Amino acid sequence: MTSSSRLIALLLTLSLLTPVLADNSGASFLLLPGDVRAAAMGSTGVGEDGVLSALHFNPAGLGSRLDPVMSASYNSWLGDAGYGYLAGCLPINDLVIFSLGFTYPTMGGFERRIDDSQNPEGTFGAMSLAGEVGYSREIIDGLTAGLTAGVVYQKLDEYSATGVAFDLGVQYRPLNWLGVGVAGRNFGTPLTFIKEETALPSTIVGGVNLRFLESDLNINLDAEYHLDDAEDTIFGHFGAEYVLFNTAALRLGYTYGFNDHGGKLDGLSAGLGLTIVGITLDFAYSGHGDLGNSYRAALGYDFAFVTEHGQNLNDYLAQLEERILTTSRAFYEEGQDYQARENYAEAASAFDKALIWNPDFPEAAAAYDSAVMFQREQEIDEHLQQGELYLRVEDYVAARAEFAAVLEIEPEHALAAEKLQFAVNALAELLAEREAQVALLSEEAAAAFAAENYIASIIGWGEVLAIDPTNALAQGYLNQSEERLAELVATEKRVAASLEGQGRYSEALDHYLTAQELAPDDLELPGSISRVRGYLSKQIDELVNDGIARYDRKDYTSAEDYLRQALRLDPDNRSARDYLNRIASATAASSSSGPAEDPVVANEFYLKGIQSYTRKDYEQAIYYWQQCLKYQPGHPKAGPNIERAQAMIAALSSS
């Protein structure tokens, strides 16, 4: 150890373990703030509430704390010194808060000499330890009081001393932006080292805390008076902190009042703070005159983040539930309006959407069943009435189609079966006079027309006319078949164009191909099909690329969503299938129990399922709701919605 470092070590040891040179107090390390944030702010905090540094400056400051907080640090300080600090507080209820703190300065590597010899006889170390327990509570609104009691222990080589220390303080915040406080610190029993008895460094402190810019800017002004005969007894402290985006903090401080004796522990100070998901990281710089500069860091956790995050999640879920109920109610009222106008098909659709948003909606469920029943009865009545009109004009083919439609809805409908048989018999009698081949072809053409297979109907009636060119019945149905076919083609093209405009290229392509099957000679369709196939190919490539990009970022949930969409559009896409296998392997390797429960992600999938169901994309809706259940197995609406979508798919398959 060099002579200069020995001098620094000696000065520091004297400051930590013995009275501060000119005064008569011991355990002067009790004057040093263990809290790194407070050190960066000029050792201030007497008037500030809700911060852990109040354990040192004014125990009343913890009386307004609502959530637990803790902080720990250990730093290599000046020379060979180390400085450790551990503190925390625990609110018991809205009024009572308990706190606990430990301070642990150490120094080692002193050379032991008995006389003026240049050869040391060994080395020795020094250490101090202070532990304190605090109690704080709110007396009346804005007024808090606090008390700490602790044990002070110091050791130098084989010599040691022990004492008891107390802090007492009050704090008052009349306005949100203004807080004032006063405290007495380090009152207690004296320390006896060897034979010399020294008092603790007792002080009286007062301070003001100012808050501006919605508490993002904090300013502390403290005054400190030492109750001893030291040369310096009055000190002024200034500290400021500015918080950016509730995450980063810039700090500055200054202490005024030290003379030129060896106790220069304060002066200019500065620091930074970071808060990330409740974890706090604090850094502080302090100037110490001839002793040099010190740099300190601390790690802590503020449990207020857990409380705030939980409240935000509850607020989000409450807003989502309110939105779901409001939307469901809106669809229900829309369905009631349609039902009042006897538009039962639209009413049933609206009630169905209300149940998708809120499966636990008994009024909507009952209204849906009622609307479906009325729609069914309305359709049966319309087909029967239309069939009767066709019978009166002896249009037995059209009558047959209407009565067959009734039996599609209600296979056991006796009147429709009777009328259908009558129409069949009447048509047979009408065609009995024709040649057998004409009769057969007409029967086939009529069946095709009834089944809305207008291409087969056109061919059939054309064959009838080829045999009997004067057959007015065949000519009439041929014209109707051509007109309805043209309407179907126009409808398919119109739907395809609309879907293309929405970017739903796969569905648009299906409709264009259907139109081409119905009208192979349409000159516009090849160009439209080619164009949409190009858009679809580009869309598939974008989905695959987006999925791969998210896979590379390990965002497996979003990656799987994009890749499944691509595979749904192109089942033979090898890249999509390959990356889905990789995702399956990655997720299986990371967790055999499935993804962590996350209500936010679950509800995102839930809403996507509703959007897919509304577009009548029932299989995609089922997939999203299954994903919802992975992230929230107890989701109350996803399960019933999956059953409803499966029922819709089954109904479409059987129709």
Task: Give CA–CA dist 514/507, Å, rounded.
Answer: 11
Q: Under CATH, to which class is 3-302 assigned?
A: mainly beta
pLDDT at 588 over 80: no
pLDDT confidence of 2, banded at 50, 70, 90? very low
Q: Give mean pLDDT, residues 121-136.
A: 80
pLDDT at 457 over 80: yes
pLDDT of 10 reads: 45
pLDDT at 607 over 80: yes
pLDDT of 208 reads: 96
Q: Under CATH, to which class is 595-655 assigned?
A: mainly alpha
pLDDT of 96 reads: 59
Nearest CA among 235, 251, 255 for reference residue 298: 251
pLDDT at 593 over 60: no
pLDDT of 16 reads: 46
Note whether 407 and 413 are within 8 A (CB). Answer: yes
pLDDT confidence of 480, banded at 50, 70, 90? very high
Q: Give mean pLDDT, residues 362-380.
A: 90
pLDDT of 454 reads: 86
Domain boundaries, the chain: 3-302, 325-478, 595-655
* Structure confidence by residue, pLDDT tens digits, 486-508: 999 999 999 999 988 988 888 88
* Structure confidence by residue, pLDDT tens digits, 420-447: 999 998 888 876 776 778 888 888 899 9
Classify each residue of 146-156 as buried b or exposed e, where b means 16 or more C-beta atoms within 10 Å of its C-beta.
bebbbebbbbb
Task: Give CA–CA dist 552/542, Å, rounded.
Answer: 15
**DSSP helix/strand/coil, 387:** helix
Classify each residue of 630-644 as buried b or exposed e, where b means 16 or more C-beta atoms within 10 Å of its C-beta.
bbbeebebbbbbbeb
pLDDT confidence of 26, banded at 50, 70, 90? low
* Structure confidence by residue, pLDDT tens digits, 45-66: 999 988 888 888 999 888 777 7
Task: Give CA–CA dist 588/556, Å, rounded.
Answer: 11
Note whether 253 and 269 are within 8 A (CB). Answer: yes
Note whether 540 and 566 are within 8 A (CB). Answer: yes
pLDDT of 170 reads: 95
Tell me whether the CATH fold assigned to 3-302 matches the one assigned to 595-655.
no
User: Range with the lowest mean pLDDT among 233-237, 356-360, 389-393?
Assistant: 233-237
**DSSP helix/strand/coil, 437:** helix
Q: Which residues have a Cβ under 8 Å from the Cβ of 422 and sit 6 or more positions away?
A: 391
* Structure confidence by residue, pLDDT tens digits, 223-266: 999 887 555 678 899 999 999 988 899 999 998 875 543 344 55
Task: Give CA–CA dist 306/14, Å, rounded.
Answer: 43
pLDDT of 546 reads: 92
Number of H helices, E strands in the chain: 18, 16
Task: Give CA–CA dist 572/475, Å, rounded.
Answer: 47
DSSP label at residue 199: B
pLDDT of 174 reads: 92
Note whether 66 and 261 are within 8 A (CB). Answer: no
User: Which position has the token pair 């850094």?
Assistant: 283
Nearest CA among 591, 599, 606 for reference residue 639: 606
Q: Which residues have a Cβ under 8 Å from the Cβ of 300 and sit 6 or more positions away?
A: 52, 69, 70, 71, 72, 279, 280, 282
